[in-house]
Homo-oligomer: A and B are copies of this chain.
Amino acid sequence: MARYERHIFVCTNERPAGHPRGCCKARGAEALRDALKAEVHHLGLSTIVRVNNAGCLDACESGPVVVIYPEGIWYGKATAADAAEIAEKTIMNGEVIQRLLISGEKFAPDRLQFPFLVKPSEGNT
């Protein structure tokens, strides 16, 4: 088992107000991060899943941006209201939520031939 079965990076980068690219922080990234952390805790996955702050992930126009490894699943324009679904479908079961995927070929997950399930270990819930 690796350190984390899934590792979720949420861009919380901040740019000055009025910057042409905007920033994930101004688009609600911190609320999304906090909601994902709460869901992971609620599901009893804290020892095998981590939600991390990240710097700019270079997909600012789709912010808030989230990337989930090891699969490399890129979600954009996610909100705190999406956190429970992300946790239950993607983090627990490796299921991709199509409506949250950032569009464009370069963002397409391509390692999903090896999905794996995350299950809380005993005593972990």
A→B interface (CB under 8 Å): 1-4, 7, 9, 12, 50, 52-58, 67, 69-72, 74, 106-111, 114
Contacts and interface: CB of A to CB of B under 8 A. Distances in A.
A71 B69 CA distance: 9
A57 B67 contact: no
Contacts of A114: 114
Name the residue among A50, A56, A67, A74 with the largest chain B CB count within 10 angstroms. A67
Given A55-B52, A57-B52, A111 B72 contact: no
Given A7-B69, A70-B70, A72-B7, A109 B2 contact: yes
Q: Which of A3, A50, A52, A54 has the most CB of B within 10 A?
A: A3
Closest 10 CB pairs of A and B: A53-B55, A69-B69, A2-B72, A70-B70, A2-B110, A3-B106, A3-B107, A52-B55, A54-B54, A52-B54
